[in-house]
Chains A and B, each alone.
Chain A
Amino acid sequence: MGGRGVLAQGAKFGFLALLNAAVLWAAIALLLRGDYLFLAILGVGALVLNFVVLSRRAYPLRFLLPGLVFLFAMVVYPIGYTVYVSLTNLQTGNLLTKAQVVAQLEGRYYLPPDHERFTYWAFRNDRGELRVILLAQDGRTYLSEGSELLPVDLADPRFIRGEDGTVVQFETFRRLTLMEIYQSLPALERMALVLEGKHVRLATVREFGTYLRKYEYLRELDAIRDLETGVLYAARDGYFTSPDGVRIEPGFQIYIGFKNYVDVLTNPLIRSDFARVFAWTVAWSFFTVFFSFWIGLGLAYLLNDPYVRGRFVYRSLLIVPYAMPAFISALVWAGLFNTDLGVINRILGTLFGTKVRWLQDPLWARVALITINVWLTYPYMMIVSLGALQSISKELYEAARVDGATGWQRFWTITMPLLWVSVAPLLIGSFAFTFNNFTIIWLVTAGRPAVLGAATPAGATDILISWTYRLAFEGDRGNQLGLAAAVSIIIFVIIAVISGVNFRFTRALEDVSRNV
Chain B
Amino acid sequence: MYSRPSFLGLLVRHALILVAVAWALFPVLWILSASFNPTNNLLEQRLIPANPTLEHYRRLFTDPTVPFPRWLLNTLLVSGFTALITVFLCALGAYAFSRFRFKFRRAGLLALLLVQMFPQMLAMVAIYLLLIRIKEFVPWLGYNTHPGLIMVYLGGAMGFNTWFMKGYFDTIPRSVEESALVDGATPFQAFLRIVLPLARPILAVVLIIQFITTYSEYVLASILLKGTEMYTLAVGLRFFIQAAYDRRWGAFSAAAILGALLILAIFLPLQKLIISGLTGGAVKE
Chain A residues engaging chain B, CB cutoff 8 angstroms: 26, 29, 38, 59-64, 66-68, 70-79, 81-82, 85, 295, 298-299, 302-308, 314, 316-329, 331-336, 338, 340-343, 346, 375, 377, 379-380, 383-384, 387, 389, 392, 394, 397, 401, 407, 410, 414-415, 426, 429-430, 432-433, 436, 438-439, 442-443, 465, 468-469, 472-473, 481, 484-485, 488-489, 491-492, 495-496, 499, 506, 508-509, 511-512, 515-516
Contact = CB atoms under 8 A, between A and B. Distances in A.
Contacts of A468: 122, 124-125
B147 interface: no
Contacts of A66: 89, 92-93
Given A383-B275, A495-B119, A67 B124 contact: no
Interface in B39-80: 41-43, 45
B24 A318 contact: yes
A304 B17 CA distance: 12
B21 A73 contact: no
A37 to B, nearest CB: 10
B92 A67 contact: yes
B219 A512 contact: no
Contact of A63 (B96, B126, B130, B282): B96
A103 to B, nearest CB: 17
Interface in B182-215: 187-188, 191, 212, 215
Contacts of A443: 218, 238
Given A433-B283, A512-B113, A324 B263 contact: yes
Interface in B234-285: 234, 237-238, 241, 245-246, 249, 252-253, 256, 259-260, 263-264, 267-268, 271, 275, 278-279, 281-285
23 contacts: A60-B96, A60-B105, A64-B93, A64-B108, A67-B162, A71-B155, A73-B130, A77-B126, A81-B129, A302-B13, A307-B10, A323-B268, A324-B264, A329-B27, A334-B245, A394-B1, A438-B219, A439-B219, A465-B122, A481-B129, A488-B124, A509-B113, A511-B109
B120 interface: yes
B43 A472 contact: no
B245 A74 contact: no
B237 A328 contact: yes
A515 B110 CA distance: 11
A302 B123 contact: no
A332 B4 CA distance: 41
B8 interface: no
Contacts of A511: 109, 167
Given A68-B158, A331-B237, 14 more contacts: A29-B137, A70-B151, A74-B130, A82-B123, A329-B27, A331-B256, A333-B27, A432-B283, A438-B219, A442-B218, A468-B125, A491-B122, A495-B117, A516-B170
A449 to B, nearest CB: 15
A324 B156 CA distance: 22
Given A70-B151, A78-B123, A338-B42, A299 B20 contact: yes
B230 interface: no
Contacts of A426: 279, 283
B256 A328 contact: yes
A67 B162 CA distance: 9
Contacts of B1: 304, 389, 392, 394, 397, 410, 414-415
Interface size bucket, B side? 35 or more
Chain B binding surface SS class: helix
Contact of A506 (B119, B130, B238, B281): B281
Nearest to A371: B23
B20 to A, nearest CB: 6
B259 to A, nearest CB: 6
B125 A484 contact: yes
B271 A316 contact: yes
A442 B152 CA distance: 21
B172 interface: no
B284 A380 contact: yes
Contact of A438 (B121, B123, B215, B216): B121
Given A326-B216, A332-B31, A488-B122, A75 B238 contact: no
Name the residue among A38, A70, A509 with the largest chain B CB count within 10 angstroms: A70
Contact of B252 (A72, A331, A346, A379): A331
A511 B170 CA distance: 11
Nearest to A346: B43
B282 to A, nearest CB: 8
Contacts of B275: 383
Nearest to B115: A75
A433 B30 CA distance: 28
Nearest to A73: B155
Contacts of A331: 237-238, 241, 252, 256
Nearest to A509: B113
A332 B238 contact: no
A299 B17 contact: yes
Contacts of B137: 26, 29, 38
A71 to B, nearest CB: 4
A308 to B, nearest CB: 5
A492 B114 CA distance: 11
Contacts of B216: 325-327, 439
Contact of B17 (A61, A314, A340, A472): A314
B140 interface: no
B14 interface: yes
Contacts of A377: 284
A305 B2 contact: yes
B154 interface: yes
